[in-house]
Amino acid sequence: MADLHSEKILILDFGSQYTQLIARRVREAHVYCELHPYDMDLEAIRAFQPNGIILSGGPKSVYDEGAPAVEEALFELGVPVLGICYGMQLLNRHFGGHVVPAGKREYGHADLLSQGQPGPLFDGFFVDGKSPVWMSHGDHVEQVADGFDIIAATDNAPVCGIQNVERNLYGVQFHPEVNHTPRGEVLIDTFVRKICGCSGQWTPGQIIEDAVARIREQVGTDKVILGLSGGVDSSVAAALIHRAIGDQLTCVFVDNGLLRLNEGDQVMSTFAQNLGVKVIRVDAEDRFLTALAGETDPEKKRKIIGGLFVDIFEEESNKLTDAKWLAQGTIYPDVIESAGAKTGKAHNIKSHHNVGGLPDYMKLQLLEPLRELFKDEVRTVGEELGLPHQMVWRHPFPGPGLGVRILGEIKKEYADILRQADAIYIEELYRSGHYEKISQAFAVFLPVKSVGVMGDGRTYEYVVALRAVETKDFMTAGWYPMPYADLARISSRIINEVKGINRVTYDISSKPPATIEWE
């Protein structure tokens, strides 16, 4: 079996909003990578044994007092280095070049122009000597360091690409990791595969083979329990662990009454009946609704739902006295964001439900087979494991479920209304071919009533809002331009088929300033 971690790229994060995208692009080149803070200890970098290092962008200026930097010996490790934006400026300044505030800042699209011989990094990148790129910088390189050549420029910035081929050091002022740089993946693939010499072993089949071997080695003959939510991450984790250890796995599915229409039955059908996984189903709707009664604060609702889930899960796990492992569907972005929060580098918008380890009183070891994978990798692995396409590729669903899509207090009446409206919405998106073009779509229950007319009579009923967004990274998102005819049909069906709703609205807010979920 190939060692999937024998080839790897290290990404040092200087605070760019796009750093996770760099990692995703490297993974798309089928090469393993890890993202670490810029001040990672040099001995730890040596121990990591990277085939190459990427320095990310960042919001600071390299000439500021206390600006983020790396140890000088980093550039003496003998591995290729690619600096992006701030990373390029840092690289240039380290070797004696000058970086200054730009006379004219450059944000958004620009045409990158080839300068002289493009060298190995830009192999296949330019078409007729130019390529559109995405810029985001207020400083620029005024003087290139000795030993470096200028290989790219824009009309506004004379130095947008530098190289020292002899030392395998490269820098670009633009952001090849974002979708707004159409051929950016070509550049990152070239750096990772050609310059760093990685062959590309990080494929779904190899990931599964490696994970199965590691799970078997970790667990041995022990029993494992997993909290199955029906979401993509826990579902793929369950299928992967079951592939590795079969009946040693028992899943606990807590039906909290805040799931989508018929979701509980679908989970049982997929796992218990079709895959042969042992699943214990717990009907806990009454307990959750009682605990949530009267609560309107979104964060408190999240904590109540998360805390009660742990309590119920613990009750069930205590019945399985021979279990020694708790499995979770933690994925790599959870790990990155949790680490950022612990170091104070991330602002807490809303809490995550499956990061942070186990309560001290739960005497179980933690098993997280997906913690190295991004969401798109998890989905691809899920399909490879035989999970239904519709389950694996469905839109994200929050850990608290409908609890954060019912604004204000949660009541069973509201949850039942929302379930039906959301099911109609999603059904119509599939029928019209929009579902797989949209990154996330859902209905939101608004705790307000409006006047309407049905059958010549006055109604006074609730309102639902429909949300649909397009995004590549969920850090920013634009609202989906749904055709009016489709919106009209969805609205008509919801109002006619769901008792208690007489008005439907469509959310046209982008992120930022709004968030994707309403709570």
Indicate the pairing of strand 501-506 with strand 478-479: unpaired
Q: Give the contacts of 415 (CB within 8 A, at least 6 positions apart).
A: 257, 258, 289, 402, 406
Residue of 7, 34, 106, 177 marked catalytic: 177
User: Cα–Cα–Cα angle for 502, 505, 509, nearest 5°?
Assistant: 160
Give yes or no for a contact between 466 and 508, defined as CB atoms under 8 angstroms apart.
no
Residue of 7, 33, 85, 372 marked catalytic: 85
Angular region, 257: left φ>0, alpha ψ -120 to 50, beta rest: left
- The set of long-range contacts for 159-162, using a CB threshold of 8 Å and a minimum separation of 24, is 159/92, 160/112, 160/133, 161/112, 161/115, 161/121, 161/122, 162/88, 162/91, 162/92
Residue 205 among known ligand-binding residues: no
Torsion of CA 382, 384, 390, 394, to 10 degrees: 40
Residue 267 among known ligand-binding residues: no
Q: Is 461 a catalytic residue?
A: no
Residue 337 burial (10 A CB sphere; 0-12, 13-18, 19+)? middle
Residue 507 among known ligand-binding residues: no
Residue 252 among known ligand-binding residues: no
Q: Is 85 a catalytic residue?
A: yes
Q: Is 175 a catalytic residue?
A: yes
Residue 231 among known ligand-binding residues: yes
Residue 235 among known ligand-binding residues: yes
Residue of 30, 175, 242, 353 marked catalytic: 175
Indicate the pairing of strand 249-255 with strand 365-367: unpaired
Q: Residue 414 and residue 292: Cα distance in Å, rounded?
A: 13
Residue 230 among known ligand-binding residues: yes
Short-list 56, 42, 5, CA closest to 336: 56
What size, in residues, is the chain? Answer: 519
Give yes or no for a contact between 81 and 91, defined as CB atoms under 8 angstroms apart.
yes
Annotated binding residues for ATP: 229-235
Please give the positions annotated as active site.
Answer: 85, 175, 177
Annotated binding residues: 229-235
